[in-house]
A and B are shown apart, each in its own frame.
Chain A
């Protein structure tokens, strides 16, 4: 498979301008500046690119919604907050190929008419701020940023803004609040950022990987890009794989490979360590539903499941999951689903901004109940109570963090209810050993 984003990540010095330029870097800026902004938007539309931040919204369409009132500045903001557990792909891109992001942002800024664009990066990625600022300075020295870029009359500056530790600032309106120097409280929509965003001006917020993908789209043309992949999952996708696998890391895939191949082939995760069996997997970051091995590798209809938006979602929440942010978390037979779900509940309780009662209170209740069950102090009715709480959070909050907190709990109960019940009925034994595999064994890869 031909890589479009990470193709050059192994080249020495690729982090710096000279090597990056020598290997074809910044060609897309030269191409784009000869086109009109609308023509660039058109290429992105044709490419079928979908937002890589989690929601998968078509990027070209999002760009075409941007309001353009006379005399009002417009802004492009790159979302580099990357805080969804299991997700570390944007970090890889920024750390090793910073110029790819800067190049993509210049082209995108041109398309949107943003003369001042920002990269909002999570505060913990402190050393990456230096890497990005160096790349920006190099691009500027070489005439790709600043005033009158390549004589086109287009001016653009890019600034890096560091956050300070808050998952919620990955939600685009919270991010905008934070960039304005406030608490990261999501705004009520509408108005959408495309109309009223940063400093009340029209704003587009896009993920790091989305903006980087604009580079190959302009280089090869939107139509060619759209030929890669399958159906509405065009192009390539970065997957950050972690948990109980032999080769954790960031992989660029074309979205035609099966989940089975992704987990077991040596090109990707390299299988499960120590001959253990696969128990479960969260395929798209902590917010998406966990699936037991049998439903992960095959859909409920018994068809092969593939690593793309449609196939991962096949079966809806009853038997499917989501592509989400591409954070692929693998659990082997020794892992406890109750305990894993508890860590996620702790995460969401900690990260709730507190504006809406269902999210603020509900995440805390879910954590408490899960803690009881995990420590052998739960009741059978607690499982129904958990179900009830998550159901009352979902859809009743200002931002999707509420849903993101509800879904992992719902899916864990939906698919692993017997493991929760076992905890309740065996309060002492569950402190000594894990429930194990029970009926979840991956039917294909049972080691001999």
Chain B
């Protein structure tokens, strides 16, 4: 069943306390982040309904928000998501080559996930790392100054870390 642990429920209360009384709807975006991290990297309808219940708002208010913001995944994604920036400044420094290389190397297109459920490739818009291009986001952190060799190393690192966690 979709339910936060007590720790996470305490975190939700801490978030709600940041706003004046009665304004707990403001907690929605942070709580959706927490839910996505907790429940498999995406927001299922059950997860969204649970968040609505927690914040005492209508489910539609959650759906409206979840569908607006690009960081929420509304479908399951791979264990590791490569979010490669494709906007102008990164393009000037060769992001096309990096995107093509990842496609080739993983045998998937943009928006697709490898058959083993390990990797998803996504293109994203400027992430505020234009001076360190080409770049991608992987989980919480940025990987910058990408080269083909670095991409190889990152893929290797993900495979190792997945094997270690199994």
Binding site for B on A (CB under 8 A): 73, 82-88, 90-91, 116, 118, 122-127, 159, 161-167, 178-184, 199, 240-244, 248-250, 282, 286, 327, 329, 331, 335, 339-340, 343-344, 346-347, 350-351, 353
On whether A340 and B88 interact (CB within 8 A), knowing A159-B18, A162-B29, A327-B130, the answer reads yes
Given the complex of chains A and B, what is the CA–CA distance between A390 and B99 in angstroms? Answer: 30
Q: In the complex, which of the residues B29, B86, B89, B125 contacts A243, with contact meaning CB atoms closer than 8 Å? A: B89
Give 3 closest A-B pairs by Cβ, nearest first: A164-B69, A248-B131, A165-B70
Indicate if the CB atoms of B88 and A164 lie closer than 8 Å: no
Contact A88 B20 (CB under 8 A): no
B residues bordering A, Cβ < 8 Å? Answer: 18, 20, 23, 25-30, 32-33, 57, 61, 64-65, 68-72, 86-89, 91-93, 124-133, 137, 140-141
Nearest-Cβ distance from residue B70 to partner chain A, whole angstroms: 4
Complex-state Cα separation, A125 to B141, whole angstroms: 8
What's the Cα separation between A201 and B57 when bound, in Å?
22
In contact, A343 and B88 (Cβ under 8 angstroms): yes
**Besides A164-B33, A179-B26, A350-B70, 13 new A-B residue pairs in contact (Cβ under 8 A), listed by A number:** A85-B126, A118-B18, A161-B26, A162-B33, A164-B72, A180-B25, A181-B27, A182-B64, A241-B131, A242-B92, A282-B88, A344-B88, A350-B125
For A184, list chain B residues within 8 Å (CB).
68-69
Instruction: Determine whether the beta carbon of A329 is less than 8 Å from that of B92.
Output: yes
Cross-chain contact of B128 among A116, A124, A350, A353 (Cβ < 8 A): A124
Give Cα A164–Cα B29 distance, bound, in whole angstroms.
7
Within 8 Å CB of B86, what residues of A? 343, 346
- Asked if A84 and B91 make an inter-chain contact with CB atoms under 8 angstroms apart, the answer reads no
Q: In the docked arrangement, what's the CA distance between A339 and B30, Å?
A: 36
Which residues from A are CB-within-8-Å of B65? 181-183
> Are A163 and B68 interface neighbours, CB within 8 A?
no
Q: How far is the CA of A249 from the CA of B23 in the complex (A)?
A: 40
Partner of A340, one of B68, B92, B130: B92
